[in-house]
Structure 1
Amino acid sequence: MLRYSLILLCVVCFSCGKDNGPGYQEPYIPGSDDDPTGVVPLSDEDMMDLTQKETFKYFWDFAHSSSGAAKERYHPDNPTLNQNVVTTGGTGFGLMSILVGIERDFITREQGISRLSKILTFLKNADRFHGAWSHWIDGNSGNALPFSTKDNGGDLVETAFLVQGLICIKEYFKNGSDTEKALAEQADELWKGVEWNWYTQNQEVLYWHWSPNYGFDINLKLTGYNEVLITYILAAASPDYTIDKTDYEKGWAKNGAITSSTSQYGFPLVLRHSGGSNFGGPLFFSHYSFLGLNPRNLTDQYGNYWNLVVNHTKINRQYCIANPKNYIDYGEDCWGLTASYSRNTDGSRGYSAHSPSNDKGVVSPTAAICSIPYTPTESLKVMHYLYQNKDKLLGPAGFYDAFSPHYNFWVTEAYLAIDQGPQIIMIENHRTGLLWNLFMQNEDVKKGLDKLGFNY
């Protein structure tokens, strides 16, 4: 899983990318009369259908063969690369995506139950550290795989992303057949075994990592605003291992220092983003915690979370339209800066948490697609742009992870679980509210939100 902390901690090298084609070609703009691609535009509904269905293949066709869990990455040109590395958070996104697959008839209900049972059994037998799973897991053995030297144990944030999915599984199947009820109970039991309060060290803040060899040496506190809000809500929701409200106030909210009076392009930032950017961090900050947690009516003493995520998205988009670095094709149909694969200065493939303060001319399709509940019209424009360039951008598991028209239309022909899963989920939340409704109806989640002082 690749998040804000990965920029600080990742020691993984990626294989080289490549330029696509001998030179830049002006892409087709949806709705124009001049269509050099010959691609017939889709309706908005068909566009969302296609994006969900093609992206779903990542979690169905290209999942780990024996565990059913989501692989960390998939490179079509090198499918055996790290083929046994599965990701905890990405697997949580995969659980939610399978529910969408059932609802959209990509798979049958029976197929979905069979795959989910396999995944939950794998998670039950996998290594856990005071209830938390590791960032990476060996898909064959269930053993923890080191993400870095000291990150070889429990990862509380990855676990929270997984738990979001487990809670949705519980709610989706709890009133079904005996088999479905048993699946719901297994999901409920798995998440309730996480010892959230142990990860505070009695310090009124949650800590990201614990290692059986190095303890809390990484010493990374979960403070906002970034992608980890969901961790505090789930920790407060836990029936047996709950945290105190003061852990949220002093830890996540830093005694109120989380609030911000900054505005950009007329949009208030609402909360101070980790990393100190006055233009907001990578867009995944406003995606990962809100796959199940519905921000639409969510408020607390620190802010209005719907305004937060909508404004964050609009600032990111407006920055791309302003395009201060004059990158080719940035604009209303081509925007979205977030963590993804990236282009190194020598043209090879790397990784970066793109944002207005870290703009490398690389657009990540997941950024605008996942923002569709916040900016539906604007996000659909990007999706149509991607589709009109499908000969370069659409691969075997949805749109590729990153591209740059500026650099000879460079494309990284690869995928990451954490970038593919939220696309399926957030499109569905925009269309039907499926995952938002499932997560928010959970009684433990409601108790956690109440405990922390949220209105929802």
Structure 2
Amino acid sequence: MDKHDILELEMKASFDFFWKEAVTDPDSPAYGLIRDGNGPNDANRASIASVGFGLSAIVIGVEKGWITKEEGHERALGTLKTFWYNVEELNGFFFHFLDMKTAEKYENDYDVASIIDTSLFLNGAITVAEYFGREVYDYFDKIYKRVDWTKYYDEERNYYYMGYKEETGGTGQWDHYAEQLMQYILGVGSPTYAVPAKIYDGFDRPKREYKDYTFYSAPHNPMFIHQYSHAWYDFRNVVDADGVNWFDNSVQATKAQRQYAIDNKDKRPSYSEKAWGFTACDGPRGYHAHGAPAWDREGNPVENDDGTIAPTAALGSIIFTPEESLDALEYFYKEVPELWSEYGFLDSYNAEGEELWVAERVIGIDKGAGLLMLFNYQSHLLYDLYMNNEYVKKGTELLNWTQQS
């Protein structure tokens, strides 16, 4: 079996997670919600970010012939109706985790709605809105226009809050580069509650160097920060007013991760030129935002890896490092067969101990980043759909992001 055959297997298995691990009872107030993962603690816990990736997965499923367009339309429309009528929200923002039975905030979730997870959901909603049009678009449009981005805007310090409570105001801050680029597009492009384009200038852009690679990063440098916005927005030929190309930045960050694995393969038995990828994932000591090479907020090198490798880190970077990611895909499938499951690669593995440790579950956001990026490697469709959206176009123009010739 060659690399491209394995790629197709992983894509289909990842799609199956989003299709099968959803609420499919049309009479349920939670219809269309998708589990955060398929572990024992995920049975009644949906993730709105997982739903965002899952909505885009519907388009992939139709295009691949895994479901009919009618089936995809029904699931997409029903999911958006759930978010319009039933899902608990605050100022249009949704909570990270939802109850799979009631669509209300999950009992153990944070008590603030999440701007980044809402943005990931909206990205998926844009995709199906553009693909199916008509009523699906109408529900997306109502949901999007309800989001009050100004509530999450710290005007004095010119950045987004991470959360917001009516009683106490904003909490946390998006004050440095990470996965949030999508939030500037969506917030600036809003026709109802827009934030000013200058918010894009409000976050720090610390530049880091590792060997031959230079790139902007966040503390601890998990790979997902360089991937998530790129799953929908086509940054390949786009530069901002300062000439920054975020696609090129992700290429540098991905190559640095692989080089780190090569440089440390004598120290970490999991690592090699074909076994690499460090991101937020399950590990032997629980869920952790693994990243390498890594630095603290002051730019001092730190060790933030423990031998745990997450396939999504390499697979979700396939548009940045095609050959290297395909080599990793083949390695994971052939050399670590314990990773394979009903839904493709399990979340992670670690070969540091006497016995190989392998995650017991898949996680929706990790399967989603991998699936969307593998499809983006094959097709331009998701990018075409997202970039064609009127609000994405508006946000791009107001941010003064321009196409390179």
TM-score, with length taken from structure 2: 0.91
CA distance in 1, matches of 2:64, 2:42: 30
Where does residue 100 of structure 1 map in the other structure?
A: 60
SS of 2:358 mapped into structure 1 = strand
Amino acid at match of 2:150: N
Where does residue 152 of structure 2 map in the other structure?
A: 199
Identity %: 30
- How much has 1:287 moved relative to structure 2? 1.2
CA distance in 1, matches of 2:114, 2:270: 38
Where does residue 174 of structure 2 map in the other structure?
A: 222
Where does residue 153 of structure 1 map in the other structure?
A: 112
- How much has 1:367 moved relative to structure 2? 0.4
Where does residue 58 of structure 1 map in the other structure?
A: 17
Matched, 1:289 2:225: no
SS of 1:137 mapped into structure 2 = strand
Where does residue 388 of structure 1 map in the other structure?
A: 334
CA distance in 1, matches of 2:99, 2:169: 21
Where does residue 165 of structure 2 map in the other structure?
A: 211
Where does residue 300 of structure 2 map in the other structure?
A: none
Could you tell me which of 290, 297, 313 is aligned with 2:254? Answer: 313
Greater mean deviation of Cα atoms: 64-73 or 155-164: 64-73
Whether the 8 Å CA contact 2:150–2:194 is kept in 1: the answer is yes
Could you tell me which of 55, 71, 78 is aligned with 2:35? Answer: 71
| Residues 14-413 of structure 1: pairs in structure 2 closer than 5 A | 42-66=1-25, 67-75=31-39, 78=40, 81-124=41-84, 125-145=86-106, 148=109, 151-174=110-133, 181-203=134-156, 204-212=158-166, 214-216=168-170, 219-250=171-202, 252=203, 254=204, 258=205, 260=207, 262-269=208-215, 271=216, 273-275=217-219, 281-302=221-242, 303-323=244-264, 326-344=267-285, 350-356=286-292, 357=294, 358-389=304-335, 391-407=337-353, 408-413=355-360
Amino acid at match of 1:444: Y
Whether the 8 Å CA contact 1:69–1:94 is kept in 2: the answer is no
CA distance in 2, matches of 1:62, 1:428: 20
Where does residue 24 of structure 1 map in the other structure?
A: none
Whether the 8 Å CA contact 2:18–2:34 is kept in 1: the answer is yes
CA distance in 1, matches of 2:104, 2:165: 14
Amino acid at match of 1:229: L
Counting matched residue pairs gives: 384
Amino acid at match of 1:140: K
Whether the 8 Å CA contact 1:205–1:221 is kept in 2: the answer is yes
- How much has 1:324 moved relative to structure 2? 6.4
Greater mean deviation of Cα atoms: 299-308 or 156-165: 299-308
CA distance in 1, matches of 2:82, 2:343: 24
SS of 1:116 mapped into structure 2 = helix
CA distance in 2, matches of 1:390, 1:355: 21
SS of 2:12 mapped into structure 1 = helix
Whether the 8 Å CA contact 1:342–1:351 is kept in 2: the answer is yes
CA distance in 1, matches of 2:23, 2:326: 31
Where does residue 35 of structure 1 map in the other structure?
A: none
Whether the 8 Å CA contact 1:134–1:155 is kept in 2: the answer is yes
User: Relative contact order (C-alpha < 8 Å, sep 6+): which is higher?
Assistant: 1
SS of 2:287 mapped into structure 1 = strand
Whether the 8 Å CA contact 1:64–1:86 is kept in 2: the answer is no
Matched, 1:436 2:396: no
SS of 2:232 mapped into structure 1 = coil
Q: In the superposition, relative to structure 1, how do residues 393 and 137 fare at CA in structure 2: closer, same or farther (>3 Å)?
A: same
Whether the 8 Å CA contact 1:146–1:152 is kept in 2: the answer is no
Amino acid at match of 1:378: E
- How much has 1:439 moved relative to structure 2? 0.7
CA distance in 2, matches of 1:384, 1:449: 37
Task: Show CA shifts across 1:103-160 (max 9, x none).
Answer: 1111111111121122112111211111111111112212112555xx3232111111
Where structure 1 has 5 or more consecutive residues not aligned to the other structure, the ranges are 1-41, 175-180, 345-349
SS of 2:160 mapped into structure 1 = coil
Task: Show CA shifts across 1:226-251 (max 9, x none).
Answer: 1111111110111111111222212x
Whether the 8 Å CA contact 2:3–2:329 is kept in 1: the answer is no
Whether the 8 Å CA contact 1:297–1:305 is kept in 2: the answer is no
Task: Show CA shifts across 1:54-96 (max 9, x none).
Answer: 1111111122344222111212xx4xx3322111111101101
Q: In the superposition, relative to structure 1, how do residues 147 and 230 fare at CA in structure 2: closer, same or farther (>3 Å)?
A: farther
Measured on the aligned residues, the alpha-carbon RMSD in Å equals: 1.7
Whether the 8 Å CA contact 2:282–2:288 is kept in 1: the answer is yes
Task: Show CA shifts across 1:284-330 (max 9, x none).
Answer: 01111111111211211341212101001000110001116611141
- How much has 1:202 moved relative to structure 2? 3.4
Amino acid at match of 1:111: E
Greater mean deviation of Cα atoms: 139-148 or 362-371: 139-148
CA distance in 2, matches of 1:184, 1:197: 24
Greater mean deviation of Cα atoms: 330-339 or 58-67: 58-67
CA distance in 2, matches of 1:212, 1:70: 28
Amino acid at match of 1:46: D
CA distance in 1, matches of 2:176, 2:94: 22
